[in-house]
Amino acid sequence: MIENQYIDIFTQYRDKIDSKSLSGMNGLRDKALNIFKDQGFPTKKMEDYLYLDVAAEFLPDFALNINRLPFTGNPYVAFRCEIPNLTTNLYFVLNDIFHEEHKPKINYPSGVFVGSFKHFAEEKPDVFSKYYGQIADMDNNGIVAFNTMFAQDGFVIYVPKGVVVEEPIQLINILKSEFNILVNRRILIIAEDDAQVKLLICDHTVDESQFLATQVTEIFAGRNALIDYYDLEENSDKVTRLTNTFVHQLEASNVLINNMTFNTGVSRNNYNVKLSGQHAEAYVCGMVIADKHQYVDNFAFLDHLVPHCTSTQLFKYVLQDEATGAFCGRIRVEKDAQKTLAYQSNNNLCISPNAHMYSKPQLEIYADDVKCSHGLTTGQLDEEALFYLRSRGLSKESARLMLMQAFAAGVLEHVRIDRLKERLLDLVEKRFKGESARCGNCAVCK
């Protein structure tokens, strides 16, 4: 079993892992190890992993940077974002190490922290211990347990009560190595009551090595808090990315999660949202553009625990060549969650006959005064619409491009940063044209 190999590595290097990390993370490793020994990686025998052999993704001989060897160079010089007129506060994680050396000095409102777990735990140890690892469900997820065993640092955003961070925060995850490497990333976002923050994450790959990345994100939204979480995958075909995002929402909070997969090898994104306060709103959206032999799998579970909450799931896939997509969306309305409004939609285009899409929408409703719906469509481009556009003078490729752009636009409408929306529309067009979807003017990503 491949699990035994990683258990042996963890046991052998446990002291080194702890010494290069911090006590707040080390305290959860024993529990994580026991869970991982018991559960291992998810298998295709599990209902939620029918189409992905997770253990097989860990079979190649990957290195782990347990000694935390630093990245050489200055990514702030090499990277240039090309989102028109979008000013962001920019940070970098290189493989799974937060780049501290060239981090700019940013004058945030009083009490705001943006940076590494290490420095946050030093400045606010009580806050870190209160939130880290508290909603990331290891008990039912071997990948989360694995990540908790090996992760040694992470990226944290903390916004105290009543504070609004006006400018979006941008985190660039760069995978760079001359040899195959496994990285384990953690993200923690805390927005206390009446706080607001927006995070844009961009994943890029530099080298042609094989990469495997696990990522666990925990998002806490206090009362009346607003959080935007945008996640752009622009990796190489040699990347396997396994993410787990957990959200806990209190009264009248508003959380938007929007994932855009423009390029990848294998991608599995899990979203677990608990609406725990009345009048909370959650939006979980995703758009996938995949071709070649790429595999993209999104799983979203939104759990309504109290009355008067609203949730929306919207996922769209455009699959070409021999790409495979999978989507499982689950909405659960607990018996006390009356007056719930919950909507789910999954729409898919299989452009080529060899593309495959698997979809499973699910509703579990235990309350009787709710409005819930789900919809699923999978098909090819509308031949009548193509004929209509061509009859108006458009070429076949131009007509196809226009229809695919129109299809994808629904997800982009949920982007709440106008300049980001403009750039994403441009990336979508480039991707459909077969051009690189990566950011321009970027010496890192070329």
Residues 84 and 419: their CA atoms lie apart, in Å, by 6
Question: Is residue 45 a contact partner of residue 403, using CB atoms and an 8 Å limit?
Answer: no
Give the pLDDT of residue 443. 43
Give the pLDDT of residue 47. 85
Give the pLDDT of residue 319. 94
Give the pLDDT of residue 389. 63
Tokens 């925060």 found at: 169
Sheet with strand 281-290: strands edge to edge:
97-98, 89-94, 169-175, 196-205, 226-234, 254-263, 281-290, 310-319, 341-350, 371-379
Q: Containing domain of residue 268, as a range?
A: 2-442
Instruction: Pick out the chain residues at pLDDT < 70.
Output: 79-85, 381-390, 392-394, 396, 398, 400, 435-446
Residues 345 and 384: their CA atoms lie apart, in Å, by 24
Q: For 9-62, what is each residue's pLDDT tens digit? A: 999 999 999 999 999 999 999 999 999 999 999 998 888 899 999 999 999 999
Helices marked H in 58-124 — which ranges?
Answer: 75-78, 117-123
Using the Cα atoms of residue 184, residue 16, residue 189 and residue 70 in order, give the sign of their dihedral: negative
Residues 266 and 436: their CA atoms lie apart, in Å, by 18
Q: How many whole angstroms from its chain centre is CA 31?
A: 25
Domains: count for the chain: 1
Q: Considering the entire predicted model, what is its pTM?
A: 0.94
Radius of gyration of the chain measured on its C-alpha atoms: 21
